[in-house]
Amino acid sequence: ATVLQYRDVQKLYGDFVALQGVSMEVKKQQVVCLIGPSGSGKSTLLRCTNALETIDGGEILFDGVRLPKDRTAIRKVRQRMGMVFQNFELFPHKTAIENVIMGPSTVLGLSDEASRDRAEALLKKVGLADKAKNYPANLSGGQQQRVAIARALAMEPEVMLFDEPTSALDPETIGEVLNVMKALADDGMTMIVVTHEMTFARRVADHVVVFERGEIIEQGPPKQIFEAP
């Protein structure tokens, strides 16, 4: 089954063509890695995917349905996608567990107890059960990013979008985040990952899409993309 289908997607910023002729798909339980130089349009594509940006041409289908334009419908669609950013974007005045609880409790309307149970289970899953009461400032970058992943998962998304999740991390904490992502992939989560981590892309991706100047220049299984010409 296809979760996300992109057909001839175009995105403009004024006269600047940020995406052009982008066609690709993400099938259920696949990990699709987007690679390519900085400025080639990868994160623009993610922001168009969860409707943080609108596209100027072509179409994006989510579960076979075109992304909506009105705000209420967009909010609903966005709830079905988990987004993880380069800079974590945790709420600094909330503890790790409060960051994770907030979505289920305020957005999904789960009871306090159900929200807390879910958050505890997810913090355990990302290896941070013992850091639940820490504030973000008292966590390493890698730990903050794992909280951010738990927070996104708490909404039980159908697809997870990762925008360079390890680019802002100290080298020694990159591995712990990639391991959590690998475990998620093994659980069957559908994922799009913008990354410069070629080892991750080679080992974990089902499909690799190479961007350059807003266009896809190559796509295929990692074996094909990374094998010497």
User: Which residues of the shown chain bind ligand ADP in the complex (CB under 6 A)?
Assistant: 13, 16, 18, 24-27, 30, 32, 36, 38-44, 206-207, 211, 220-221
Shortest distance, position 24 Cβ to ligand ADP, whole Å: 6
- Across 49-87, b (16+ Cβ under 10 Å) vs e yields bbbebebeebebebeeeebeeeeeebeebbbebbbbbbe
Query: Looking at beta carbons only, is 123 or 225 nearer to ligand ADP?
Result: 225
Residue 104 · residue 153 · CB < 8 Å: no
Shortest distance, position 85 Cβ to ligand ADP, whole Å: 12
Shortest distance, position 104 Cβ to ligand ADP, whole Å: 30
Shortest distance, position 19 Cβ to ligand ADP, whole Å: 8
Strand partners, 13: 16
Q: What is the Cα–Cα distance from 86 to 164, expressed in whole angstroms?
A: 5
Query: Looking at beta carbons only, is 30 or 166 nearer to ligand ADP?
Result: 30
Query: Looking at beta carbons only, is 18 or 101 nearer to ligand ADP?
Result: 18
Is the dihedral angle over the CA atoms 195, 163, 117, 98 positive or is it negative?
Answer: positive
Query: Looking at beta carbons only, is 1 or 137 nearer to ligand ADP?
Result: 1
Query: Looking at beta carbons only, is 26 or 181 nearer to ligand ADP?
Result: 26
Residue with tokens 């149970």, as numbered in its chain: 117
Shortest distance, position 76 Cβ to ligand ADP, whole Å: 24
Query: Looking at beta carbons only, is 7 or 125 nearer to ligand ADP?
Result: 7
Shortest distance, position 123 Cβ to ligand ADP, whole Å: 29
Phi/psi for 161 (5° steps) reads -115, 120
Is the dihedral angle over the CA atoms 179, 28, 149, 161 positive or is it negative?
Answer: positive
Helix (H, G, I), strand (E, B) or coil at 107: helix
Residue 62 · residue 15 · CB < 8 Å: no
